[in-house]
Chains A and B, each alone.
Chain A
């Protein structure tokens, strides 16, 4: 459907407006989505596109969505967002961290357009909100399962870049794997990419060759699952359920669930109640879901993992609960202490016991 369409509705005619002077209020609320990856990646961008489809379906004709995929960060993103707005977009959803400067530059020029920026932290204008999910909560449940499932006691982890959300994930998975199995060792490979099936497959193979029998991934393709399948190792769905690899190698998943957030924000914008926020939601808001734990996992582990999930979702338990020391031995959290969101969001260190270094 064309972005520029202006519809002269029956209402406009009934109120006696001259035909031809079509009015902007009559057109649907338009939301423009801009992605750094492809909506066919079956991971991060795919789940955001699922959220867009949910938004479309929820509002029917009242909301229209447009999509630009594979948009490079920087000048290209700025141009695509501007063109979306010139074409009539009322809200922009930018789904990559790197769009931050461009989002804020465009937001300054179009104060009447609402901006939602995923995983960002820059909110330089009142019309910019950021949103993120507490992936580390899901990582805790996966770590719990991994600690039970490993027989070699070596767990592999394909990491993308040493940024806070990835570091939180590694720490959380490690803490909860060692909680149920103190002998667990983590091997981390920095893939230096978010999506590259060939590199991800190589990384998975390298980890398996080192003896890993459970593979985590913080990259978006299903390539590590294919490798794990061949080697008889276990893996977890990332962003998307990846259920085509269930019951094994995929034994569970962290599923991103953006649809409800998009519906809520578009509704608020249409109602005039939209306010700047920095949403950081997790299991309790169903922003992330735990993908079905497959029958390859023993019944009692499935139950204990779901109990862990429920205790996090209810707010009874925080995945980072002291005592926890930093990698170099300096104390971070005292007995029973939990971190504030601010420092946690910028987490830049590993916890004691991990041998991984920042970057490679």
Chain B
């Protein structure tokens, strides 16, 4: 029988090296998969990891796209990482992202066709509040009735999707759309738009917010008492209670912050890259951000790098689809391998594997 035995002190070196090793192993396993599909594995890996950054034909376009794709991932993952560190599992960031986008867009559309400079800040606040409020549902249910926040937050994603569909087909539908679904285009209207701040960089308010969130989370975790409480609650919940940490307050704070950041990410997306509320507005950022958070070791700088890496595999994966005809599901499997290897290596760096003889009971 194989037994896992916890290592008394997990290696610090492997803690930092596992993400790199996971990427490396993903390249090998993915390469084998691409070869089995009859594609040149070296070329496929080069297209995915190298071409979006350095291919003369694509790079000037795809480099800024990295920021556009990574921005929401980083912003959401930063919020999630606080809760994950404290052992509070918000799996429903996708739903909070949707509700944030709907609230922010609804705020902007309520004053249509105003072009007031106050409009966009108001939309951001509405987005923050929308995401926060959606996350408060699992938060209050957990603190009041001890429900499981994993299930409640996840199931609320499907509720949010239903609300999104009804918003896109009825109450936020553009009057100019001749009966077709979708709201007015926020990105093409001054006042409600989230424009590129420096032309040709892909940098919009949401990307800037993601960078600010990285810095703020770093300061919070290292310099603030709340960061200390979060780490303590995650590592030693009983000790945390003796140290005076109120677990309910921590649940509400962590869920609230992650919900608000996810909501803001939704607002920045709907007013910028996506442009409008549509039936299929959400594209899975809230779920992918969970991978990003873990790939980044729940550390702000790690999340920044992991977000950029995930964005790279998306954009490179699309290029591989176009240039080599690799089917989309194979690209998704490739991304899945990344998380698989990371988790597998995590187990190995935290545990010994021992072979034990089973004894007759």
Q: Which residues of A contact B (CB under 8 A)?
A: 1-4, 32, 36, 38, 66-76, 78-80, 82-84, 86-87, 97-98, 100-101, 121, 161-164, 192, 345-348, 358-359
| Listed residue (B62, B161, B275) with the most chain A CB atoms within 10 angstroms of its CB | B275
Q: Is the CB of A98 within 8 A of B278?
A: yes
Residues of B within 8 A of A348 (CB): 179
Main secondary structure of the interface of A (DSSP, over half): loop
* CB-based contact B274/A161 at 8 Å: no
**A98–B274 Cα gap in the complex (Å)?**
11
Distance, CA A122 to CA B173, complexed state (A): 15
Give complex CA distance A69, B178 in Å: 28
22 inter-chain pairs at a CB distance below 8 angstroms, sorted by A residue, are A2-B324, A66-B322, A68-B322, A70-B328, A72-B283, A73-B281, A76-B318, A79-B62, A84-B322, A86-B57, A98-B278, A98-B280, A100-B182, A101-B275, A121-B180, A161-B181, A163-B180, A164-B178, A345-B178, A359-B165, A359-B166, A359-B169
Docked-complex contact B323 and A3, CB < 8 angstroms? yes
Q: A98-B278, A101-B185 are in contact. Are A83 and B325 (CB under 8 A)?
A: no
B-side contacts of A36, CB under 8 Å: 280
Given the interface pairs A72-B280, A74-B281, A83-B322, the reply to whether A164 lies near B166 with Cβ below 8 Å is no
B178 contacts which chain A residues (CB < 8 A)? 121, 164, 345-346
- A-B contacts, CB under 8 A, total: 115
- For B157-199 the 0/1 string (1 means CB < 8 A from A) is 0000110011001100000011111100100000000000000
- On B, residues with C-beta under 8 Å from A are 57-58, 61-62, 65, 68-69, 161-162, 165-166, 169-170, 177-182, 185, 269, 273-276, 278-281, 283-284, 314-315, 318-319, 321-325, 327-329, 332
Chain A positions within 8 Å of B321 at CB level: 67-69
**Bound Cα distance A275, B57 (Å):** 29
Shortest CB–CB separation between residue B319 and chain A, in angstroms?
Answer: 6
Known: A1-B325, A163-B181. A192 touches B165 (CB 8 A): yes
Given contacts A38-B329, A192-B165, contact A164 B318 (CB under 8 A): no
* B182 engages A98 (CB within 8 Å): yes
Are B276 and A101 closer than 8 Å at their CB atoms?
yes
Q: Is B68 touching A2 in the complex (CB atoms < 8 A)?
A: no
Q: Are B58 and A86 in contact (CB under 8 A)?
A: yes
